[in-house]
Amino acid sequence: MSFRYFPFQPADEKAMKNPAIQLFGNRLFSDQTVSEFLVEFLLVIFSPKRIGDCEPFETVFPTLKQIDYWDNEKLEYAPKARLNLKLFSFIGASRLDSRHQAHRNHYKTLLERLRQRIRTNSRDKDDVIRTIENLFLGFQGAGSGRTWCAQSFLPVSPSLLAGETIW
């Protein structure tokens, strides 16, 4: 997969003078799908953000007062990775060669923890787990054929927003 950075190459001097790139990085690539663009955009909207040493804010934009007093301080945002949810939902749909032993071990731990919390009289716990996995897999947005941590959900809820992650 080839890609180009947009709007600037990371080494371009203009890139680090742009507050949006300082805050959100080079998150947009020319070969991303519409759902990937949407997920990246919504991650910015719904993630906690901070300007300098100020308290984090969870609104879409900082207040006008914060913008007025911004003196080229460091900008940050912190989207949730949701690694456990992505691992649970997508490891079965990921390439076999991308399923590292550490990922498989953690997946087994997640399944055991989930199995301990399920209370049912009428169904086998493994059937319940498979049903939940299939439900989440039905919300798979982009990344089919990629490793589980590079896949994403359709952005139907803030709780399902998670970008690509390296683990």
What is the C-alpha separation between 164 and 149, in angstroms, rounded?
6
Per-residue pLDDT at 1: 47
Q: Could you tell me how far CA 37 lies from the centroid of its own chain?
A: 12
The reported pLDDT for the residue numbered 8 is: 57
Residue ranges of domains in the chain: 15-77, 83-160
Supply the pLDDT for residue 113. 97
Q: Read off φ and ψ for residue 136, nearest 5 degrees.
A: -65, -40
Q: What pLDDT, on a 0 to 100 scale, did the predictor assign at position 96?
A: 80
Long-range pairs for 21-28: beta carbons < 8 A, 24 or more residues apart:
22/74, 22/75, 23/49, 23/75, 23/76, 23/77, 24/77, 27/163
**Euclidean distance between CA atoms 143 and 149, whole angstroms:** 9
User: What's the average pLDDT block by block, 10 residues per block, for the chain (167 residues)?
Assistant: 56 64 63 83 89 87 83 83 94 85 95 94 89 95 84 92 80
